[in-house]
């Protein structure tokens, strides 16, 4: 654990690591306090595309934690950056919430439900058959299919709920087109995180609750991995994966010691 505590920078997932829905997880205030007291660089890297960094900062404030918006990076921002580099000034039909649409607006994308360059899917509570039906028509007419992240499920205080990977699956099945996912474990997301932190992979650790996104992202990027059991992955599931995290902890409160 001393090697972990000596890392200069930490990339942390949010859902299942920092909170479940609107409930802060045990040990989180102590962990964030330790990061600050030790002068660690840190970035909350979330595959959720629903909220902007400002909204995430406000959410933590409501839970009693003051963390500036500069400490947040989302799959919505990564998706917007990727699409802007691929098709500057393009357009998209979006199934998602304000965090995603605002990120696309900010890079010069237009919303288009007639002949968009892309169909982009992220987490949303306004998912409907009508939206899926329209997305299928657009993809079959040539729009490229993008998912903000491949997560099939996500943790909330009420239990496990469907996430982007599950929401985009009907469109993939109906069109025969596979979505391109920008969020973790895509190396694009990890490179953006390291750049924002100004850190090298050797001096960084990633903390997450998912083997199939957080941990594999760290392994494939050469970043130290910490799995916390406060979210999606249970200890009993670990033998089913062909790879393993360096550390397994009950929650982030175990990092400061």
29 contact partners, CB below 8 Å, separation of at least 6: 64, 65
Catalytic residue among 2, 15, 37, 106: 15
Catalytic, out of 13, 117, 151, 214: 13
- CA angle, corner 20, sides to 212 and 106, nearest 5? 75
Q: What is the rounded distance in angstroms from the CA atom of residue 52 to the CA atom of residue 216?
A: 25
To the query of whether residue 15 is one of the catalytic residues in this protein, the response is yes
13 is catalytic: yes
Q: Residue with structure tokens 């304000």?
A: 98
3-state SS assignment for residue 164: helix
Number of Cβ within a 10 Å radius of residue 21: 12
Q: Which residue(s) pair with 247 in the sheet?
A: 226
Active site residue ranges: 13, 15
């Amino acid at each position: 654990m001393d090697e972990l505590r000596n890392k200069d920078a930490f990339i942390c997932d949010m859902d299942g690591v920092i909170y479940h829905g609107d409930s802060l997880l045990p040990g989180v205030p102590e962990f964030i306090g330790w990061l600050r007291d030790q002068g660690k660089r840190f970035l909350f890297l979330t595959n959720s595309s629903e909220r902007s960094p400002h909204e995430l900062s406000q959410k933590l404030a409501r839970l009693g934690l003051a963390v500036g918006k500069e400490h947040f990076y989302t799959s919505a921002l990564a998706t917007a950056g990727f699409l802007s580099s691929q098709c500057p000034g393009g357009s998209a039909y979006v199934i998602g919430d304000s965090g995603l649409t605002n990120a696309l607006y900010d890079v010069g994308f237009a919303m288009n439900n007639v002949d968009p360059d892309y169909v982009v899917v992220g987490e949303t509570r306004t998912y409907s058959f009508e939206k899926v039906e329209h997305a299928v028509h657009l993809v079959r007419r040539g729009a490229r299919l993008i998912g903000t992240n491949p997560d099939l499920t996500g943790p909330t205080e009420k239990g496990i709920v469907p996430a982007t990977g599950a929401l985009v699956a009907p469109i993939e099945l109906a069109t025969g087109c596979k979505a391109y996912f920008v969020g973790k474990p895509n190396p694009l997301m990890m490179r953006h995180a390291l750049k924002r932190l100004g850190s090298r992979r050797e001096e960084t650790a990633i903390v997450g609750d998912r083997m199939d996104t957080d941990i594999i992202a760290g392994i494939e990027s050469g970043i130290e991995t910490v799995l916390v059991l406060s979210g999606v992955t249970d200890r009993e599931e670990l033998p089913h994966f062909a790879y393993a995290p360096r550390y397994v902890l009950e929650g982030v409160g175990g990092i400061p010691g």
